[in-house]
Amino acid sequence: MLQPTSDDKAIWRATVTSFSGWSHSFTLLRIALALIWESGERPAPFSGAVVVDTAPAHKEVDGAAAGSPECAVHSLEGEEAPPWEGGSSASVPPSKAQVAPEGPNDFWQLGFQANWDIDLWGRVRRAREAAAANLQASVYDHQAVRIAVAAEVARVYLQLREAQAQLDIAEQNKKIAERALEIAGTRERNGVGTMFDTSSARAQLATVKALIPEQMQRRNALMNGLALLIGQPPRTLDKRLQDVLPVPPLPARISVGLPSALARNRPDILRVEARLHAATASIGLAKADFYPRIDLRGRGGFEAFESGDLSSWASRFFSIGPTVYLPIFQGGRLEQRLALTEAQQKTAALEYRSTVLQAWHEVDNALDALTGQHHQYAALLEAYEQNRTALHAAQSSYRHGAADYLSVLTAQRSVLSSQTQLNRNTTAAALSLVNLYKALGGGWEPDDLNLFITSDAMASTGLDRDTISARTHKKMTETTR
């Protein structure tokens, strides 16, 4: 369970106000924007990952988390937590107040008063514990928003690169179609080709041209979506992202760790754990209300009817004594409050179990998707290479009169289709890695983990979920021996 430090408020301030000066060096996926997450103290104990683009042109979005409106809203909402936590812990040490006249008066008084709630039954300790846990939950909720924003920025960026690649493919195929139309027209004028060949080539060119405006519109929409995510006006990133860059290749090695590590990495699990801790502490607080409370109060100083007499020793006063609170004649209020806190604790426990189970499912699904994309990529790459070979052969045969234009047209369509599928697969694999990043709670460090999944192993040995589960079980067994 949580172990709050003595300076929760200072940690909170450092956490919610520092967005852009964070330091993590491990590169999860060289894809998108430099979203740098702080490896700070508690209450943010989990390590993160960095989503980095290798292109220098994207340095202007290093502060994407700072510019995100959603992160800003949650940081402002979170600032409500520290005063609440501080108020709950204010009665732990003795408190004091100075007394001075507030205005003209015929009676002068100068002194102090103090009171101390003697925590005999742990009521104050439980109140502070619950407040600290609720504070932790607020911070973890803010961390979850940061991870969600980082994953969403990476997702939109990858889709943007896919749209740009599709647009580039369409432009290349337009040039091929224009060349094919030129050849078909020349053959028809020389009496070798037919009008059917020329019309088919012209139709193919028009079909390819029709794809270009659609991809341009999608590209522009994704650029604006990316600008919105980092809190910028429309068209802000157009110049910096206009160069067509491929989707970066996946890392050769992906470390996912043990399923049990999810409980310390995912902020949503940490949040519900903190809520469970707070609910459990609230039960102790409700039980402590059944017992008497003793406050030790004291006051002292000087008082006189004339201001000049305040310095006289005879004007002194001093009093000290206990105040006893007995919880009788409550009309069942304490019993109802205890029943309510116990019900809230049971609800928090069920929510914790549900969140952990959901996290395991998300990781398992993300691993399945990533494994499937690796298997599919090899087949799509082979199909693309074979279609290109077939297109070159068809074009050569057509130029020499050994084949009709229909074979060239069919080969062109096959190449365009395989190019599109290969590009989409590459993007889907990168998106699966982003989903895995999010499912694992924002990143992982290779030096601290034991289980590695390599793309070569998955492609050559057919590594799948069962193999992963077996290795995971073995590692867990070795760890618990």
What the block records as the tokens of 36 is 């740098």
- How many other CB atoms are found less than 10 A from the CB of residue 171? 15
| Domains delineated in the chain | 8-480 (1.20.1600.10)
Parallel, antiparallel or unpaired: strands 50-51 and 293-304 = unpaired
Q: Which of 34-48, 195-209, 303-317, 326-340 has the lowest mean pLDDT?
A: 34-48
Statement: residue 469 has pLDDT above 50 = no
Indicate the pLDDT class of residue 347, thresholds 50, 70 and 90: very high
pLDDT at 114 over 90: no
pLDDT recorded at residue 71: 56
Q: What is the pLDDT of residue 479?
A: 31
Contact (Cβ atoms closer than 8 angstroms) between residue 362 and residue 441: no
DSSP 35: B
Q: Supply the DSSP string of 126-191, one letter for each residue.
A: HHHHHHHHHHHHHHHHHHHHHHHHHHHHHHHHHHHHHHHHHHHHHHHHHHHHHHHHHHHHHHHHTT
Q: Provide the pLDDT for residue 217.
A: 92
Q: What is the mean pLDDT of the segment spanning 186-191?
A: 84
Reported confidence tier of residue 221, pLDDT bands at 50, 70, 90:
very high
Q: Which of 73-77, 241-245, 450-454 has the highest mean pLDDT?
A: 241-245
397-415: average pLDDT: 82
Q: What is the average per-residue pLDDT within 93-113?
A: 61
Instruction: State residue 111's pLDDT score.
Output: 81
- Distance from chain centroid for Cα 346: 28
Mean pLDDT of the region 192-197:
83
As given in the structure block, the two tokens for residue 271 are 């949040």
Mean pLDDT of 104-117: 75
pLDDT for position 3: 38
pLDDT score recorded for residue 248: 67
Residue 449 is predicted with a pLDDT of: 31
DSSP secondary structure string for all residues of 365-390: HHHHHHHHHHHHHHHHHHHHHHHHHH
pLDDT at residue 251 is higher than 50: yes
Give the model's pLDDT for residue 262.
66
Q: How far apart are CA 280 and CA 341, in angstroms?
A: 8
pLDDT at 400: 82
Residue 58 is given by DSSP the state: G
- Residue 455: pLDDT over 50: no
Could you tell me which residues come within 8 angstroms of residue 166 by beta carbon, excluding any fewer than 6 positions away? 211, 215, 218, 420, 423
Q: Where are the alpha helices (DSSP H) in 298-404?
A: 333-399
pLDDT score, position 279: 92
What pLDDT digit, counting tens, does each position of 278-312 carry? 999 999 888 888 888 888 888 888 887 777 777 77
Closest CA to 154 of 23, 58, 81, 254: 58
